[in-house]
Structure 1
Amino acid sequence: MLRWHLLILLLTSALAHGSELVIATTLSPEATEHIIGQWQTQPQAVSIRTLNRTSSSLERLLNNPLGEKIDLVLSSSPMLMQRLQDGGKLSLFENKIEDSRRLVPESIRSTTVAVAISGYGILVNRTRLQEKGLPTPKTWEDLGDARYQGMILMSSPSRSDTTHLMIESLLEQRGWQQGWASLLQVSGNLATISSRSFGVANKINTGLGAAGPVIDNYANVLLNSPNLSFNYFPTSRAAPMFIAITHTSTNQSEAGRFITFLLSPSGQQAMSDSDSGKYPVYPLPPNHPMAHQQSLLLEHPPLNYPLTIQRQKLVQLLFDSAITFRLTQLQDAWKALNQAELNLKRPLPEIRALLTQVPVSAEQAADPQYLSQLEQQPDFRESQLMAWQQFFLQQQRLAIKQLEALK
């Protein structure tokens, strides 16, 4: 009798597991909760369980043959989707919705579907700013203003593909050298570097920082707080949210049905509800309250995805070498420079130039051979990292030497 009970329990468990969709996602639980809740109201909807991971962790999960069985991957990262497709981890999916297809990089259109769009901007804690008597920062230049010293938060591209895409957008729009100059100036105001991009939003919400660059859906789920506000970057472009079915999914049909739901009117409505903070892939009618911002996001040209994917490793390594691993020294150097400019009542462009240069040229950053060596040759990568370290150390020494000469 006991044996029969055990057999029934095992069969029940197997059936339950078979009727469940598992979604591995780089999004926060708050960003997916509402969408999944709306799916569960559909007739005969199977249950969904999410695994929230960073891109690198999610990739390791899918590369582990003994790991969790995953049916769908949901992420804002085209780089992740490209690597998964290249590794044979994704199933083919025919997406006939042109409004969705055009938002997907051409190289991954055979497997990957765009189901929503977002934009980037600055989340601020208004209470903290009011306490300091400071205006709301709305641009990258504002984030680098000396008045916000020790009050800015952001993540790094090696920890967050969302942050990586924000940085790539800045680099493409401003140019390689000027883009890095803006980032290095912002670095002087950083309180810390968060390990996750949605951690930036949560820290600002709790008052650990006053402002920081984030994607809109991480901000919007928190905007019921009267302390917070969010403003899009004036040049923010549309950042699609992608989904794909894994090659090993045993629930391909149900997974496909979930994607079809997301592209349906009710699914798109769920995506654009305030709880999700995203925009549908279909153009909204002009009288819709979200139509103007959606139009602004879509009017900017998309990222150069081939270049973004190709130089991902370079941007990650250079950001950590230039900023993450030098944060304390940068904070000290910028504090000294800002104080010197205040005392002298004039800018010091020569010293600023020393603190905002990077050791990689725009030509190298677009050179397939250089990028390939950096990606695939450990010895070459290590030699570059050592050279970069020496470059930043020398620049910092020169800046400090010139600042001391002004005293």
Structure 2
Amino acid sequence: MIYVLQRVLLGCFLYASVASANELVIATTLSSEATEHIINQWQKQPQAVKIRTLNRTSSSIERLLENPLGENIDLVLSSSPMLLQRLQSKNHLQPFNNTMETSRKLVPESIRATTVAVAISGYGILMNVSRLEERNEPMPTTWAALSQSRYQGTLLMSSPSRSDTTHLMIEDLLQQQGWREGWNTLLKIGGNLATISSRSFGVANKISNGLGDVGPVIDNYANVLLNNPSLHFIYFPTSRAAPMFTAITYDSKHPQEAGRFINFLLSPKGQQALSDSDSGKYPVYPLPPDNPQAEQQSQLFSSPSLDYPLIMQRQKLIQLMFDNAITFRLTQLQDAWKALYAAEKKLKHPLPEIRGLLTAVPVSPEQAADPDYLWQFEQKSGFRETQMMAWQQFFQHQQQQAMTQIELLK
């Protein structure tokens, strides 16, 4: 009797183990639409285990992995090198031997031991062409175009504190235009925003639903919606390549199956699944010249790499600066730029001094690249709060001066 009971208990244990082994859990910052096709293609492979995804923000994924009673996550899938860097530094990721050289080159050097690039994307502008035509407005093609007064009240964008994809887009802009000119562009765009979306894929969905006309997004969030004839997506002319990364978690219960899934993503079938129209990304190996995606992929491959060490160092600065300069004072920005545009229209010439007041930021280019200054934003001290209070006073003073000068022109 005891022997039979032992066999029953052992059978139950083995059944539970098998059932558990039949599921991989992937925590991802991507939308469910962006991962659905990839997973469907994986399920067609021989002996493929079931995959369940947890679609979360970067900070939520970090909390999940730090909770010993939380989900048993096997893989992380994200376009955020910042997230993978933080997880690696906290020993949440396993080493992975990636032998595909074209993939390895796309991974920031500091996380190559654990992280694999499985696809690339680019940044651009998604627009609702029907709504633009109704307003007789041209299709914007650059960051500078998005800052023009004609798009006031029509733009949508997310915040870098809510979206690492948006953070990388903003860093792309800042590293190409320079600190001062980049913020000049961002603050003018801020004055054109209708609202700030809580997630980057929310920007694409809102534009698709007619809740906004235009917004900067990563290509795969746009491409899955382009069956809507009212929508059009165009890459920024100088977009950098934005890799999609994956890594196996340190506490994965099924590291071998997780490794099989990564190898599938790097295989010809996996690369095809990642780069066809349902996923909207590009493979990590060069496409043949006759492929319709080859030209854009080549442009992304040839673009200079982002300065990832700088991005990692100043992530908190960028998040706090954007929210204090734009997110928290969006209504004030909208009012100030509306008043300025009205004054310029009446006078029939630009007002550069007032524009200068509205586009200044309280952090210098030297500070934005100073490791000692940036390090202080990561510490649990009063430095961060002191800086933010000073920034708020700075922006309030600049706006008051601008509005006073506009009033004097009437």
CA distance in 2, matches of 1:120, 1:85: 26
Q: Deviations for 1:244-297, whole angstroms, at most 9, x for unmatched residues?
A: 000000101110011001000111000101000000000111111000000111
* Structure 2 residue aligned with 1:257: 260
CA distance in 1, matches of 2:84, 2:36: 22
* Structure 2 residue aligned with 1:203: 206
Structure 1 residue 396 corresponds to structure 2 residue 395: no
Q: Deviations for 1:324-349, whole angstroms, at most 9, x for unmatched residues?
A: 00000000000000111111110000
Q: TM-score, normalization: structure 2?
A: 0.97
* Structure 1 residue aligned with 2:248: 245
Written as runs of structure 1 = structure 2, the 5 A alignment for 1:101-116 is 101-116=104-119
* Structure 2 residue aligned with 1:172: 175
CA distance in 1, matches of 2:7, 2:107: 51
Aligned partner (choices 220, 225, 237) of residue 223 of structure 2 = 220
Partner of 2:119, secondary structure, is strand
Aligned partner (choices 273, 276, 281) of residue 273 of structure 1 = 276
Structure 1 residue 362 corresponds to structure 2 residue 362: no
CA distance in 2, matches of 1:59, 1:213: 26
Q: Deviations for 1:75-103, whole angstroms, at most 9, x for unmatched residues?
A: 00000000000000000000010000000
CA distance in 2, matches of 1:139, 1:10: 59
Q: Deviations for 1:121-146, whole angstroms, at most 9, x for unmatched residues?
A: 00000111111111111111111111
C-alpha displacement of 1:321: 0.2
C-alpha displacement of 1:15: 2.1
**What amino acid sits opposite 1:218 in the alignment?**
Y
* Structure 2 residue aligned with 1:310: 313
Partner of 1:376, secondary structure, is coil
CA distance in 2, matches of 1:78, 1:8: 43
Structure 1 residue 24 corresponds to structure 2 residue 11: no
* Structure 2 residue aligned with 1:82: 85
Structure 1 residue 92 corresponds to structure 2 residue 120: no
Partner of 2:48, secondary structure, is coil
**What amino acid sits opposite 1:155 in the alignment?**
S
* Structure 1 residue aligned with 2:166: 163
Q: CA RMSD in A?
A: 1.6
Aligned partner (choices 185, 189, 196) of residue 186 of structure 1 = 189
Aligned residues: 407
Structure 1 residue 117 corresponds to structure 2 residue 157: no
C-alpha displacement of 1:11: 5.4
* Structure 1 residue aligned with 2:335: 332
Structure 1 residue 285 corresponds to structure 2 residue 288: yes
**What amino acid sits opposite 1:67 in the alignment?**
G
Q: Deviations for 1:348-380, whole angstroms, at most 9, x for unmatched residues?
A: 000000000100001001111111111114301
C-alpha displacement of 1:5: 9.4
* Structure 1 residue aligned with 2:45: 42
C-alpha displacement of 1:19: 1.9
**What amino acid sits opposite 2:326 in the alignment?**
I
**What amino acid sits opposite 1:233 in the alignment?**
F
- Ranges of 4+ aligned residues in structure 1 off by more than 3 Å: 3-14
Unaligned runs of 5+ in 1: none
Partner of 1:136, secondary structure, is coil
**What amino acid sits opposite 2:286 in the alignment?**
P
Q: Deviations for 1:22-43, whole angstroms, at most 9, x for unmatched residues?
A: 0000000000000000001111
CA distance in 2, matches of 1:8, 1:136: 64
CA distance in 1, matches of 2:147, 2:68: 46
**What amino acid sits opposite 1:402 in the alignment?**
Q
CA distance in 1, matches of 2:136, 2:16: 59
Partner of 1:402, secondary structure, is helix
CA distance in 1, matches of 2:205, 2:249: 31
CA distance in 2, matches of 1:229, 1:7: 58
**What amino acid sits opposite 1:190 in the alignment?**
L
Aligned partner (choices 70, 73, 76) of residue 70 of structure 1 = 73
Q: TM-score, normalization: structure 1?
A: 0.98
Which 10-residue stretch deviates more, 58-67 or 156-165? 58-67
Unaligned runs of 5+ in 2: none
**What amino acid sits opposite 1:55 in the alignment?**
S
CA distance in 2, matches of 1:211, 1:5: 61
Structure 1 residue 144 corresponds to structure 2 residue 147: yes
CA distance in 1, matches of 2:145, 2:10: 65
* C-alpha distance 5-403 of structure 1, shift in aligned 2 (>3 A): farther
Partner of 1:378, secondary structure, is coil
CA distance in 1, matches of 2:12, 2:85: 40
**What amino acid sits opposite 1:71 in the alignment?**
D
CA distance in 1, matches of 2:251, 2:117: 21
CA distance in 1, matches of 2:275, 2:21: 30
CA distance in 2, matches of 1:93, 1:21: 17
Q: Deviations for 1:180-201, whole angstroms, at most 9, x for unmatched residues?
A: 1100000111000000000000
